[in-house]
Structure 1
Amino acid sequence: MIAETPFPVSIALVHYPVLNKRGEVIGSAVTNLDVHDIARAARTYGVHRYYITTPYGDQRDFVGDIMSHWREGYGATYNPARKEALEIVRVVDGLQEAIDELTAAYGRRPLVVGTSAQAQDRIIAFADLGQMMAAGRPLLLIFGTAHGLAPEIMATTDAVLPPLKGRTAYNHLSVRSAVAIILDRLLGQ
Structure 2
Amino acid sequence: MSKTYIGLVHYPIYNRNNEVVTTAIANFDIHDLARTSRTYNIKNYFIIHPLESQIRLAQDVMDYWKTGVGSKYNLDRKEAFTTVETVPDIEAAVDQITAKEQARPIVVTTDARIYPNTISYGHLREKIAQNDHPCLLLFGTGFGLEKTMMNQFDYILEPIYGGGEYNHLPVRAAVAIILDRLLGEAWWQAGNTD
* TM-score after normalising by structure 1: 0.94
1:23-34 equivalences under 5 Å are 23-34=18-29
Which residue matches 1:101? 96
Which residue matches 1:130? 125
Report the CA distance between 1:83 and its aligned residue. Answer: 0.8
Identity %: 43
Provide the C-alpha distance between the structure 2 equivalents of 1:34 and 1:24, rounded to a whole number of angstroms: 22
**Aligned counterpart in structure 2 of residue 16 of structure 1, from 11, 17, 22:** 11
Which residue matches 2:105? 110
1:166-177 equivalences under 5 Å are 166-177=162-173
| Bigger Rg, which one | 2
Provide the C-alpha distance between the structure 2 equivalents of 1:74 and 1:104, rounded to a whole number of angstroms: 32
**Aligned counterpart in structure 2 of residue 54 of structure 1, from 45, 49, 55:** 49
| AA in 2 matched with 1:164 | I
CA RMSD after TM alignment = 1.0
Counterpart check, 1:121 vs 2:116: yes
Counterpart check, 1:43 vs 2:38: yes
| AA in 2 matched with 1:167 | G
Which residue matches 1:161? 157
Give the unaligned 5+ runs of structure 1.
Answer: none
| AA in 1 matched with 2:142 | A
Report the CA distance between 1:44 and its aligned residue. Answer: 0.1
| AA in 1 matched with 2:145 | L
Report the CA distance between 1:130 and its aligned residue. Answer: 1.2
Paired residue secondary structure (1:140)? strand
Provide the C-alpha distance between the structure 1 equivalents of 2:50 and 2:88, rounded to a whole number of angstroms: 4
Give the unaligned 5+ runs of structure 2.
Answer: 186-194
Provide the C-alpha distance between the structure 1 equivalents of 2:117 and 2:175, rounded to a whole number of angstroms: 20
- The count of corresponding residues between Structure 1 and Structure 2 is 184
Report the CA distance between 1:94 and its aligned residue. Answer: 0.4
Paired residue secondary structure (1:98)? helix
